[in-house]
Amino acid sequence: MRSSSVKLDSVSKRFNRRTIFEKVSASVNAPGSLAITGRNGSGKSTLVKILAGVLSATEGKVSLTVDGHEIPRELLYQQVGFVSPYLMLYDEFSAAENIRLLESMRSGRRAADTEIDSLLDMVGLAHRRNDRIGTFSSGMKQRAKYAVALIHRPAMLILDEPTSNLDAEGIAIVRGVAERQSTSGILIVATNDSEEAGWCSQQIPLGIG
């Protein structure tokens, strides 16, 4: 297990003059987990995008440290796995192609068939390995996103609305993924659901005060 930690230091975000959240602070050391909760529009998705490095904070600092080295923002993608309903995969590629191409773009390495098969098996999509994502239901697409997010064994796994579109079997799979990540690395969950928030050892409520 790699040593890693993430720290939010007085992070604020404003879009034009509208303040989304102000001075949010928290820190998580691996193994550990953090739930970001709050009503609709409280800025949960904005905060996880800041954590993933795709949005910048208006004020404050986010730092991810892996094996004693602070990861610069432009290299966060190598250490972060991200799943959300608004994240899209390529409809014209199969589930296996999506995993292989996105992993090649991320690391330059060609993922082995056995790795891809084992991930697709874990999310219950082994039988649809070579079918185009465009033919998948929304729940199956959500499962495929987990396979893409886990192929590089991320130090920090960020789940925004983790069980969106999933059936009972899918929710159980995600729960297993969350448990494994929170005991081996950093898990961040953004959710309205108190049960999903309960997967994590710490909580930040947004939109209060």
Q: Which residues bind other proteins (CB under 8 A)?
A: 52, 54-56, 74-75, 77, 80, 82, 86-93, 97, 101-102, 104-109
Q: Name the DSSP letter for residue 132.
A: B
Closer residue to other proteins in complex, CB, 14/39:
14
How far, in Å, CA of 123 to CA of 167, rounded?
A: 12
Question: Smallest distance from the beta carbon of 94 to other proteins, in angstroms?
Answer: 11
Structure tokens at 57: 């904070």
Take residue 141 and report the two structure tokens written for it. 């697409």
Nearer to other proteins (CB atom), residue 5 or residue 94: 94
68: which residues sit within 8 A by CB, 6+ positions away?
3
Task: Round to whole Å and give the CA distance between 115 and 103.
Answer: 11
144 vs 197, which CB is nearer to other proteins? Answer: 144
Rounded to a whole number of angstroms, the minimum distance from the CB of residue 23 to other proteins is 20
Q: What are the distances in angstroms from CA 100 to CA 118, 136, 155, 156?
A: 13, 18, 19, 20
Q: Residue 90 Cβ, how far from other proteins at the closest point, in Å?
A: 6
Alpha carbons 103 and 82: distance in angstroms, whole number: 13
Closest C-alpha to 181, from 6, 5, 8, 30: 30
Closest CA to 164 of 199, 200, 189: 189
Smallest gap from residue 82 Cβ to other proteins (A): 5
As measured in angstroms, the least distance from the Cβ of 208 to other proteins is: 25
Nearer to other proteins, 36 or 89 (CB): 89
CA distance 208 to 23: 12
Q: Judged by CB, which is closer to other proteins: 56, or 118?
A: 56
Closest approach, Cβ 134 to other proteins, in A, equals 10
Q: Which is nearer to other proteins, 147 or 197 (CB)?
A: 147
